[in-house]
Amino acid sequence: MDNKTLKGLFHLHKESSLYGRYITLKNIYPLIINLPKPYKVDIVGSSVLESPLYTITIGTGSKRILLWSQMHGNESTTTKALFDLFNFFNSNHITAKNILNSCKLKIIPMLNPDGAFTYTRLNANEVDLNRDAQNLTQPESKALRAVFNQFKPNYCFNLHGQRTIYSAGMTSNVATVSFLTPAEDVNRLVTKERTVSMEIISKMNTMLQEELPNQVGIYDDGFNLNCVGDTFQNKEVPTILFEAGHYKDDYEREVVRRFIFQSYITSLNYIALNTITGENHKDYFKIPENKKLFYDVIIRNVIMNFECVDIAIQFEEKLLKNKIFFSPIVQKIERLQSFYGHKEIDAKNNTIFGENNKILMEGDEVGLIMMNNTKILIKSTNNG
């Protein structure tokens, strides 16, 4: 399926009730309970604060695929794209029919509803569920493992979101979408399960490169059996990590949402139509590894204490009255020739000040700067 068609399907099936970064169980509950009859909805456990953990099952095929999203509560883009995917499955499109005839999908749309409500990575016990795959100390971790054991998936999709700091390799290209086939042992051997995952990722990368040239990355495959993806791969189930990243000016992650939707359809359709052996996996190694080379804003060529420096600003996400605000915080003041800003301002060897003529220091929140008696807004975005 070509990208023009995929883009059209996204706009046709985008779930309009979901928008922005702050997506909670309250937002998706009406959508879950109103899913049409082919969907099977179950409660498979409860969170620490006793919110229900839902699974949604669709499809009649023999290829079983387990997907879970918002394991980290503040990573909501993949959740939005799941409900766009459900709308697509409700259509009569031939690709939707092919996927559902060949595959059976079991989806946990929000594994960490408590963290989603407070907009935090951790659950209500302040545990990272993606480091609890072995000890299984948390109810959410136990529910996911129980679903895995009962469903016996042939493939796993681990759905996440990443910060704006990542570049695709040692370049000035932001990592808009990233993937990983986790290692399944300390030696990071390229096993059969990993080559299968790599082949699927390569197909998604080919699709994304048409619109995101050099803006797809992969994560380091350092092995940690406490991570869910590593554990499931270790259990010989091909597992793919999806990471929804940043696109220019897309702090609400609505553009990236489309790329994730397109990746879902591309990967699921490839699984549906093929017996995947892993033989066509080598293009995976052409995808650059993510590096942390970006800040949200860099102010270049600032004179401070008779030296020329750059000022790096990162947006800190804050939940206030059910809205996410992005507060600009000064992270570094030094020469930053090897780093890039999503927005760059050239101070042209001038001295700059914060509000009330304050000299900027690391850790300061800075809504605007003064340069040559001119106010320059350091844009703070919210999803109001």
DSSP 180-223: E---SSTT----HHHHHHHHHHHHHHHHHHTTSTT-EEE-----
User: Which residue, 135, 63, 138, 147, is CA-closest to 109?
Assistant: 147
pLDDT by residue for the chain (384 residues), tens only, comes to 899 999 999 999 999 999 999 999 999 999 999 999 899 999 999 999 999 999 999 999 999 999 999 999 999 999 999 999 999 999 989 999 999 999 999 999 999 999 999 999 999 999 999 999 999 999 999 999 999 999 999 999 999 999 999 999 999 999 999 999 999 999 999 999 999 999 999 999 999 999 999 999 999 999 999 999 999 999 999 999 999 999 999 999 999 999 999 999 999 999 999 999 999 999 999 999 999 999 999 999 999 999 999 999 999 999 999 999 999 999 999 999 999 999 999 999 999 998 888 899 999 999 889 888 888 888 755 443
Which of 255, 275, 292 lies at the terminal end of a domain, its last residue? 292
**What pLDDT does 63 receive?**
98
Which residues form the domain of 339?
295-377
Same domain, 115 and 254: yes
Same domain, 26 and 109: yes
Sequential DSSP letters for 251-303:
TT-HHHHHHHHHHHHHHHHHHHH----STT-GGGGGSPBEEE-EEEEEEEEEE
**What pLDDT does 380 receive?**
55
**What pLDDT does 233 receive?**
97
Q: How many domains does the chain have?
A: 2
Structural domain includes residue 12: yes
Per DSSP, what are the bridge partners of residue 374? 371
Same domain, 250 and 303: no
Those residues with Cβ within 8 angstroms of residue 11's Cβ, 6 or more apart along the chain or in another chain? none
Same domain, 213 and 351: no
Per DSSP, what are the bridge partners of residue 161? 244
